[in-house]
């Protein structure tokens, strides 16, 4: 089987191409506040200046949070924000496919993202290829329903098997309309790969970015870790396929909401947004 290779003629946009990529946030970044007050927390983050939010097709499984998908969408919409994309677990896609499609319609998004698959799957190229084929079949089903499917990476799925990172094996055996990648910059880096090169190799298969910074031992606010975000933003502009930058942070040097503000300021400073 031929190795996955980017086609630069089709993956790179003209040098004059420039379009501001909107910026969303991942609720886990401020999950303690969301647990207590979803509406108030979304309002606070909207005031900071975020354009959107990444949500899930079912209510968050945090104690005390009972809002429906429709109620979440109204809160987000009333604040002038959009749902960047919708996470859905494999079990939800496999067992309640019609509901996933309905929830995406409610959230007014055409993008469904599977947030992970278990690490034990990623033990050989053969097993990863099988997973890619399975996800590709689900992506074809979603494509037929008018939706697009993406996979969110971690560090274990970006390790190299038989000359190719796991995520690229999945791209190798799937059609572009059936599977893309939500590139998590920190986990690509943590796997020992260069996020800039990873995005360049994915080309137009890179559809969303989870922007996270840090070192090999700890996550941190954007711009204070080891990751080359200027290079990341440059390559995203060249590739031209990234629909949203999505900020996610799991470890903090400041109060979470302050970190979210600093992260947004950093992105805007580097991108000119």
In sign, the C-alpha dihedral spanning 112, 240, 136, 198 is: negative
- 87: nearest Cα among 53, 105, 113: 113
Q: Where are the domains of the chain?
A: 20-271
Residue 63's pLDDT is 56
The C-alpha atoms of residue 71 and residue 254 are separated, in whole angstroms, by 30
The per-residue pLDDT for range 168-213, each reduced to its tens digit, is: 999 999 999 999 999 999 999 999 999 999 999 999 999 999 999 9
**20-271 belongs to which CATH class?**
alpha beta
State pTM to two decimals.
0.92
Residue that the structure tokens 């947030």 belong to: 115
The per-residue pLDDT for range 21-70, each reduced to its tens digit, is: 999 999 988 888 888 899 999 999 999 999 999 999 875 555 556 888 99
CB of 83 within 8 A of CB of 111? no
The per-residue pLDDT for range 109-124, each reduced to its tens digit, is: 999 999 999 999 999 9
The C-alpha atoms of residue 220 and residue 104 are separated, in whole angstroms, by 31
- 21: nearest Cα among 48, 56, 51: 51
Identify the burial level of 120 via C-beta atoms within 10 angstroms of its C-beta, where 0-12 means exposed, 13-18 middle and 19 or more buried: exposed
Residue 6 has pLDDT above 70, yes or no: no
The per-residue pLDDT for range 54-68, each reduced to its tens digit, is: 999 875 555 556 888
Residue 52: phi, psi to the nearest 5? -160, -175
Q: Which residues contact 121 (CB under 8 A, 6 or more apart)?
A: 127, 128, 131
Residue 13's pLDDT is 44
Q: Which residues contact 195 (CB under 8 A, 6 or more apart)?
A: 183, 185, 188, 189, 227, 228, 232
The C-alpha atoms of residue 187 and residue 179 are separated, in whole angstroms, by 19
3-state secondary structure the chain: CCCCCCCHHHHCCCCCCCCCCCEEECHHHHHHHHHHCHHHHHHHHHHHCCCEEEEECCCCCCCCCCCCHHHHHHHHHHCCCEEEEEECCHHHHHHCHHHHHHHHHHHCCCEEEECCCCHHHCCCHHHHHHHHHHHHHHHHHHHHCCCEEEEECCCHHHCEECCEEHHHHHHHCCCCCCCEEEEEHHHHHHCCCCHHHHHHHHHHHEEEEEECEECCCCEECCCCCCCCHHHHHHHHHHHCCCCEEEECCCCCCCCHHHHHHHHHHHHHHHHCC
The per-residue pLDDT for range 249-261, each reduced to its tens digit, is: 999 999 999 999 9
Give the residues across from 209 on adjacent strands. 183, 245
| CA distances in angstroms from 32 to 27, 62, 64, 196, listed in the order given | 9, 9, 11, 32
CB of 151 within 8 A of CB of 165? no
Locate 170 and state its tokens. Answer: 């999945």
């Amino acid at each position: 089987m031929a190795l996955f290779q980017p086609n630069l003629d089709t993956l790179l946009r003209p040098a004059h191409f420039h379009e501001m990529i909107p910026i969303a946030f991942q609720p886990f970044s401020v999950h303690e506040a969301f647990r207590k007050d979803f509406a108030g927390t979304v309002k606070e983050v909207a005031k900071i200046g975020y354009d959107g939010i990444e949500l899930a097709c079912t209510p968050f499984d945090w104690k005390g949070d009972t809002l429906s998908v429709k109620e979440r969408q109204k809160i987000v919409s009333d604040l002038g924000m959009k749902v960047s994309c919708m996470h859905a677990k494999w079990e939800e896609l496999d067992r309640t496919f019609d509901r996933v499609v309905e929830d995406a319609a409610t959230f007014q998004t055409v993008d469904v993202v599977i947030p992970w698959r278990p690490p034990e799957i990623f033990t050989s190229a053969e097993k990863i290829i099988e997973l890619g084929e399975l996800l590709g079949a689900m992506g074809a089903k979603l494509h037929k329903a008018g939706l697009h499917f993406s996979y969110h990476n971690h560090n274990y799925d970006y390790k190299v098997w038989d000359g190719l990172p796991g995520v690229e094996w999945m791209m190798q055996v799937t059609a572009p309309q059936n599977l893309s990648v939500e590139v998590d910059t920190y986990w690509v880096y943590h796997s020992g790969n260069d996020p800039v090169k990873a995005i360049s190799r994915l080309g137009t298969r890179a559809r969303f970015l989870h922007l996270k910074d840090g070192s090999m031992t700890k996550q941190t606010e954007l711009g204070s870790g080891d990751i080359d975000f200027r290079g990341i933003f440059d390559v995203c502009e060249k590739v031209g396929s990234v629909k949203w930058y999505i900020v996610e942070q799991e470890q903090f040097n400041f109060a979470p909401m302050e970190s979210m503000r600093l992260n947004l300021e950093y992105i805007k400073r580097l991108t000119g947004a």
